[in-house]
Chains A and B, each alone.
Chain A
Amino acid sequence: MGALRHLLDFAGWDRARVESLLETARMMEEVLERPMKKVPALRGFTVATVFFEPSTRTKISFELAARRMSADVVGFSGAGSSLAKGESFKDTLLTLQAMALDAYVIRAPVAGMAHQAARWLAGAVVNAGDGRRAHPTQALLDAYTLLEDLDSLEGKKIAIVGDVAHSRVARSNAELLPLLGAEVWAAGPAGLLPERLEGARLSTDLDEALADADAVMVLRLQRERMDEGALPSLREYVAQYQVTGARLARAKPHAPLLHPGPMNRDVELEGTLADGPRSRVERQVRAGEAMRMAVLYHLLVGRAA
């Protein structure tokens, strides 16, 4: 495959490209283990984090990733009101572009905004989440984390549980994990499953999805879903779909438990499980930093080469 120009989603990707990124991320994690956590790899490059939707964790993760490699970092946080009108989106990007930036890490509330940005900008665009569409670095860090436990994802059953319909994390994982040989299941209540999730088997039966799963990924449940009529009540969700210790017992012993955060403890997940031996939640955060270093490195150095 050619050099990576943008990271928007995984359309058109092959396994070699994924493995090459994972390999780079492993080298980057070694940097994070050093007392002096900094390398000069991206000195002279400037990375902008352009967040049209509030997010602290992802923004910090990207900013740290860029700084660990000596890139300069600028941050833009779009005020909710100006984006609601919508006019400022393209103009904001063009203004930033005039500042001679090299990469734009974009978080946006509507599907397709990262693709639109890639059409308008000369620099590299990293999709840090666009609406329900995609969150590719999350899926990459999930794959990275899973591979620490599972060695290989070939033939492994990965169960994604919860509000799949509205989840960019689920969509990106369903695109990515099959490239590594995994068999992805997505389970949730009928109102929260999409009509189709390419790369995944859909089921409203949580037990079926969890049965002999090699790993379990739990998604955040937004309370707005009840107001939208997608879900009758929180009580019903918790009773039927909360991942509990008892339900997790259906999965393989030691199957790792992932959550993209932020968590609603005791809603989608029995609270104490997040702190238990199966939880990889903190591991995911660390992997995210290494993975984002690898992505920026491939985009900026790969492009320049």
Chain B
Amino acid sequence: MRLLIKNARLVDGSGELGTADVLVEDGRIASLAGGDAEQVLDAVGRWLAPALTDPHVHLRTPGQETKEDLATGLAAAARGGYGAVAAMPNTEPVVQEPEQVRALLDEARALPGARLMVAAALTENQEGRRLTPALLLAKAGAALLTDDGRSNEDAGVLARGLIYAAAAGLAVAVHAEDAGLRGGGVMNDSPLAAELGLAGNPPEAEAARIARDLEVLRYAVRKAGALGHEPRLYLQHVSTARGAALVAAAQAEGLPAMGEVTPHHLTLTEEAWRGFDARFKVAPPLRTAGDVEALIGALERGELSAIGSDHAPHTAAEKDRDLENAPFGIPALEVAFPLLYTELVERRGLALSLLIERMTTGPRAALGLAPARLEDGAPADLMLFDPAQRRIVDPARFVSKARYSPWAGRELAGWPLLTLVAGKEVWRDSALA
């Protein structure tokens, strides 16, 4: 069946492309100049963009399906305008065998929603000792290797992992926090933590580990370069000004380091802790307003090239524990785009195409995918949103199992109205005529 999206304003990471009639056929963009179609959608006043890619989500499958499962996670992603998400392997059991990767991909193919991409563990049980079979994992369809959820304490293991993953064509993603400096910190270490009587996780814990990991990358690049490979390091959820500066300096030297930033680190600060509410508990923690400014600057300049939601659902009961025992994590798939559209594009004047670039091309590079562009023949992974439609964040309406949000009650614009994956509708808002 052919679908014609008429009068849409087109935008992708390369820029704003003007108004066009987009014909979708056989899962691809058949034409940007209209054509006959069985189904016609008038999208006047709305933006059509490539569907977003999220390089960092926790779908809790297998083993923790009370928090999220593939069906709810991929449906939540589709609602958020995402066409593809990469699920982290810190599940029970840890995803580290090729058979597990295939089984997850098979299960997801049968589900409506965003495409699933699988990140597999870098080391067995994410313990940071023995490497997982990167070549077999890549062959099975794994898109990334990471011990996310834990930090890689042994630098030698990380170096060998980077070199080996490069041979498999995969990037390695790291959660960079020095465990000793982090200690039992539940929030940013700052005068505010002292005032609130809560244990702090200092910004230096992140910076120290990023600095080390970049040296590990330098070593891996030197070693693997002799074999004609290029190890790629993807630094997840950079949360501090200092961390972002270290990543930028390494890039300026030509090191293949990519940096990610999350919606929460771009829009929230440690001040949220004054309410003593574990919905704001996340690792790395929410930092200061100065860090937020630095992260936005690094995002604009491309030093942080990818926005990852770090969608980390837990049950409401778990988030109602005390602030030490409540788990770390914020669910963000369903609000990330309208949140960033409102805060960065509408309020701060960031170019829309730049936001799209950081939510498509940046993440896709980490996952080994080409940039997503609106052009003839491109896969019809598309997202339509209305810049004028404003709506209050109401977690009760989430399809994610985690029906709470640090942004509950905020009025946002730019809610995705339609998400297509290979031309197939995976989300359609009832507001869409």
CA distance A273 to B259 in the complex (A): 59
CA distance A108 to B127 in the complex (A): 34
**Contact call A90/B190, Cβ cutoff below 8 A:** no
Also in contact, A112 and B194, with CB within 8 A (given A85-B325, A87-B317, A89-B321)? no
Chain B nearest Cβ from A221, distance in angstroms: 17
Binds A, one of B195-203, B219-227, B262-270: B195-203
CA distance A85 to B276 in the complex (A): 19
**Contact call B194/A195, Cβ cutoff below 8 A:** yes
- Check if A252 is an interface residue, CB within 8 A of chain B: no
- Check if B104 is an interface residue, CB within 8 A of chain A: no
CA distance A130 to B322 in the complex (A): 10
**Contact call A90/B320, Cβ cutoff below 8 A:** yes
In chain A, residues 78-113, which have Cβ atoms closer than 8 Å to a Cβ of chain B? 83-87, 89-90, 108-113
In chain B, residues 207-257, which have Cβ atoms closer than 8 Å to a Cβ of chain A? none
**Contact call A111/B198, Cβ cutoff below 8 A:** yes
CB nearest to A52 among chain B residues: B322
Interface string of B297-335 (1 = CB under 8 A from A): 000000000000000000001101111111000000000
**Contact call A111/B276, Cβ cutoff below 8 A:** yes
Also in contact, A111 and B196, with CB within 8 A (given A85-B325, A89-B321, A90-B320)? yes
CB nearest to B184 among chain A residues: A228
**Contact call A86/B194, Cβ cutoff below 8 A:** no
User: Among the listed B193, B276, B325, which residue makes an inter-chain contact with A115, where contact means beta carbons less than 8 Å apart?
Assistant: B276
- Check if B191 is an interface residue, CB within 8 A of chain A: yes
Q: How many residues of A contact B (CB 8 A)?
A: 29
Interface string of A156-198 (1 = CB under 8 A from B): 0000000001001001000000000000000000000011111
- Check if B275 is an interface residue, CB within 8 A of chain A: yes
CB nearest to A166 among chain B residues: B197
- Check if A292 is an interface residue, CB within 8 A of chain B: no
CA distance A49 to B193 in the complex (A): 28
CA distance A111 to B317 in the complex (A): 18
User: Among the listed A83, A85, A119, A133, which residue makes an inter-chain contact with B197, where contact means beta carbons less than 8 Å apart?
Assistant: A133
User: Among the listed B197, B317, B325, B326, which residue makes an inter-chain contact with A132, where contact means beta carbons less than 8 Å apart?
Assistant: B197
CA distance A130 to B197 in the complex (A): 9
List residues of chain A with CB within 8 A of the CB of B194.
165, 194-197
List residues of chain A with CB within 8 A of the CB of B277.
116, 119
**Contact call A86/B276, Cβ cutoff below 8 A:** no
- Check if A243 is an interface residue, CB within 8 A of chain B: no
CA distance A110 to B281 in the complex (A): 14
List residues of chain A with CB within 8 A of the CB of B275.
115
Chain A nearest Cβ from B17, distance in angstroms: 48
CA distance A83 to B322 in the complex (A): 9
List residues of chain B with CB within 8 A of the CB of A110.
322-325
CB nearest to A168 among chain B residues: B197
Chain A nearest Cβ from B9, distance in angstroms: 43
Interface centre among A84, A108, A115, A116 (most CB of B within 10 A): A116
List residues of chain A with CB within 8 A of the CB of B324.
109-110, 131
Interface string of B151-195 (1 = CB under 8 A from A): 000000000000000000000000000000000000000110111
List residues of chain B with CB within 8 A of the CB of A295.
none
Q: Size band of the B side of the interface?
A: 20 to 34
List residues of chain B with CB within 8 A of the CB of A130.
197
User: Among the listed A83, A87, A112, which residue makes an inter-chain contact with B323, where contact means beta carbons less than 8 Å apart?
Assistant: A112
**Contact call A112/B322, Cβ cutoff below 8 A:** yes
List residues of chain A with CB within 8 A of the CB of B318.
86-87
CA distance A116 to B325 in the complex (A): 13
Chain B nearest Cβ from A18, distance in angstroms: 20
Chain A nearest Cβ from B32, distance in angstroms: 52
**Contact call A196/B191, Cβ cutoff below 8 A:** yes
Also in contact, A112 and B325, with CB within 8 A (given A90-B320, A196-B191)? no
**Contact call A195/B191, Cβ cutoff below 8 A:** yes
List residues of chain A with CB within 8 A of the CB of B195.
171, 194, 196-198
Interface string of A105-143 (1 = CB under 8 A from B): 000111111011001000000000011111000000000
Chain A nearest Cβ from B15, distance in angstroms: 46
User: Among the listed B191, B193, B198, B320, which residue makes an inter-chain contact with A89, where contact means beta carbons less than 8 Å apart?
Assistant: B320
List residues of chain A with CB within 8 A of the CB of B196.
111-112, 133
**Contact call B321/A112, Cβ cutoff below 8 A:** no
CA distance A168 to B323 in the complex (A): 16
CA distance A196 to B190 in the complex (A): 9
Interface centre among A87, A112, A194, A196 (most CB of B within 10 A): A112
List residues of chain A with CB within 8 A of the CB of B198.
111-112, 131-133
Also in contact, A90 and B325, with CB within 8 A (given A112-B198, A168-B197, A195-B190)? no
Chain A nearest Cβ from B123, distance in angstroms: 28
List residues of chain B with CB within 8 A of the CB of A112.
196, 198, 276, 322-323
In chain A, residues 54-100, which have Cβ atoms closer than 8 Å to a Cβ of chain B? 83-87, 89-90
**Contact call A113/B322, Cβ cutoff below 8 A:** yes
**Contact call B321/A171, Cβ cutoff below 8 A:** no
CA distance A110 to B198 in the complex (A): 8
CA distance A133 to B326 in the complex (A): 17
CA distance A198 to B317 in the complex (A): 33
List residues of chain A with CB within 8 A of the CB of B322.
83, 86, 89, 108-110, 112-113, 116
User: Among the listed B191, B197, B317, B321, which residue makes an inter-chain contact with A131, where contact means beta carbons less than 8 Å apart?
Assistant: B197
Chain B nearest Cβ from A45, distance in angstroms: 27
**Contact call A86/B326, Cβ cutoff below 8 A:** yes
CB nearest to B323 among chain A residues: A112
**Contact call A111/B197, Cβ cutoff below 8 A:** yes
**Contact call A86/B321, Cβ cutoff below 8 A:** yes
CA distance A165 to B275 in the complex (A): 21
Q: List 17 A-B contacts (CB under 8 A).
A: A83-B325, A84-B325, A85-B325, A86-B318, A86-B322, A86-B325, A87-B318, A89-B321, A108-B322, A110-B323, A111-B196, A113-B323, A115-B275, A116-B276, A168-B197, A196-B194, A197-B195
A116-B322, A197-B195 known; 17 new pairs, CB 8 Å cut-off, are A84-B325, A86-B326, A109-B324, A110-B323, A110-B325, A111-B197, A112-B276, A112-B322, A112-B323, A115-B275, A130-B197, A131-B198, A132-B198, A168-B197, A171-B195, A194-B194, A197-B194
Closest 8 CB pairs between A and B? A112-B276, A86-B325, A132-B197, A86-B321, A133-B197, A194-B194, A196-B191, A111-B197
- Residues of B in contact with A (beta carbons under 8 Å apart): 190-191, 193-198, 275-277, 317-318, 320-326
